[in-house]
């Protein structure tokens, strides 16, 4: 005799929320979206901690999502990631950590307005540079860069939007892999990406240069012309800085 079991209260709404989250992840990862400070405690971890994360990853079963593309060559992964015209009169350099809540808030609340009013209109060019704080953030930076120039900003967008899930997880890399799979990077490709010593060294050099050249020690930090801004300001304050720079 077959038995019918009633679903627990709230089960259906939980499943719907889960499906909705997956739909949003697919949308953001395939779109070119960009929609007080975190102090530096440990600067740029080395690769020693990554094998431990990889072992944890292997032990965690992942949802089956077909991968459609492999990681890009290291040369492309280390290339400059930017939005806007190369001929824009003002350049804004952003030093950011993908595990930084204030960086996520900037990308969620402020950057879409900056993009609409200044980047898309050819006035400002945004250059994104990594300043990862902690091993999970470093892994996230490597994965996003391995996606390549075309997908990079889509990847960091969804990584920022899912930050609470992966940054607080006991298996942060497994959570990051779930995000990567939506963008066509398989678990195997993620493992290969995180073994790229040249990529790791490149990210570390970028962060070291930020400290040496601009005295960066927290995220987010922005360099706009000769001005250095630490912390995520409001759109209105960024507007004042841009307008000053454009008037010169």
Domain map (residue ranges) of the chain:
36-246
pLDDT the model gives residue 223: 98
* In the block, residue with structure tokens 């094998």: 51
With beta carbons less than 8 A apart as the criterion, state whether 125 and 88 touch. Answer: yes
Q: Give the N- to C-terminal CA distance of the chain in Å, as an integer.
A: 82
* Best CATH choice for the domain 36-246 from the list 3.40.50.1440, 3.30.565.10, 3.40.30.10, 1.10.10.60: 3.40.30.10
Render the burial of 174-188: b for 16+ CB within 10 Å, e for the rest: bbbbbbbbbbbbbbe
Q: What is the pTM of this model?
A: 0.75
Which residue from 56, 50, 70 is spatially nearest to 180, judged by alpha carbons? 70
Tens digits of residue pLDDT in 106-151: 999 999 999 999 999 999 999 999 999 999 999 999 999 999 999 9
What does the mean pLDDT of the chain come to?
A: 80
With beta carbons less than 8 A apart as the criterion, state whether 160 and 196 touch. Answer: no
Tens digits of residue pLDDT in 27-62: 444 443 333 333 333 334 444 445 444 444 434 444
Distance CA 36, CA 104 (A): 13
| Position with higher pLDDT, 24 vs 99 | 99
Distance CA 166, CA 178 (A): 10
């Amino acid at each position: 005799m077959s038995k019918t079991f009633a679903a627990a209260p709230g089960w259906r709404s939980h499943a719907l929320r889960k499906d909705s989250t997956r739909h949003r992840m697919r949308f953001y990862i395939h779109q070119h979206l960009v929609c007080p400070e975190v102090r530096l405690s440990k600067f740029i971890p080395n690769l020693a901690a990554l094998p431990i994360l990889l072992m944890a990853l292997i032990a965690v079963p992942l949802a089956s999502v077909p991968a459609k593309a492999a990681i890009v060559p290291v040369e492309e992964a280390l290339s400059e990631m930017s939005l806007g015209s190369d001929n824009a009169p003002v350049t804004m350099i952003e030093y950011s950590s993908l595990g930084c809540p204030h960086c996520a808030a900037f990308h969620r609340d402020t950057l879409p307005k900056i993009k609409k009013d200044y980047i898309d209109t050819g006035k400002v060019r945004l250059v994104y540079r990594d300043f990862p704080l902690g091993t999970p953030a470093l892994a996230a930076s490597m994965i996003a860069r391995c996606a390549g120039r075309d997908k990079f900003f889509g990847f960091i967008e969804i990584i920022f939007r899912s930050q609470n899930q992966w940054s607080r997880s006991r298996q942060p890399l497994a959570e990051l892999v779930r995000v990567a799979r939506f963008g066509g990077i398989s678990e195997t490709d993620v493992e290969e990406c995180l073994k790229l010593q040249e990529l790791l060294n490149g990210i570390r050099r970028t962060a070291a240069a930020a400290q040496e050249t601009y005295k960066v020690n927290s995220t987010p930090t922005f360099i706009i012309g000769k001005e250095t801004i630490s912390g995520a300001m409001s759109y209105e304050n960024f507007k004042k800085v841009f307008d000053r720079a454009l008037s010169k």
